[in-house]
Amino acid sequence: MSNLEKAKISIKKIVDCNSLIDCQDSLQQILDDVGFHDHPKDLVNNDDYNQLINYVDDLMNFVISAPSADNANDLIQNSLQDTKTDIYTYLDNFVYDDTSYETIEEYISSDFKEIQDFSMYLVKNYFYNNIENFLNNV
């Protein structure tokens, strides 16, 4: 089984996480399986692989930084802006197009009981879906 096939299995573990701390436990296996620190030479110029690495990088940064967020504004400032996959723009468009809220902060504060609930929603949906998609396309 190739490492990317292993990655398809290891990425599914984040769906079962109950907290961002739980996700940190699975993160190292995901990093190893996708070759995050040692890119396979045959995939260096593969656009899908490079996008996969961008999503894994943003997931890693999010899982590490988001637990310290006390509110929606903290989460946005410290974990969602300046990402390789432009999560902030994705959320901004989602809120504008698909909700009745004016801002991302209002959406998070209104639709999620705790900031960690939103964080897990983002991990289990945005990150998981995109990583799985690019894994399948590589």
Count CA within 13 A, CB hemisphere, residue 108: 24
According to the model, what pLDDT value does residue 61 have? 95
pLDDT tens-digit readout, 39-83? 999 999 999 999 999 999 999 999 999 999 999 999 999 999 999
How many domains does the chain contain in total? 1
Q: What is the pTM of this model?
A: 0.94
Q: How far apart are CA 102 and CA 92, in angstroms?
A: 9
pLDDT at 1 over 70: no
Structural domain boundaries, residue 28: 3-137
pLDDT at 118 over 90: yes
Q: How far apart are CA 72 and CA 128, in angstroms?
A: 21
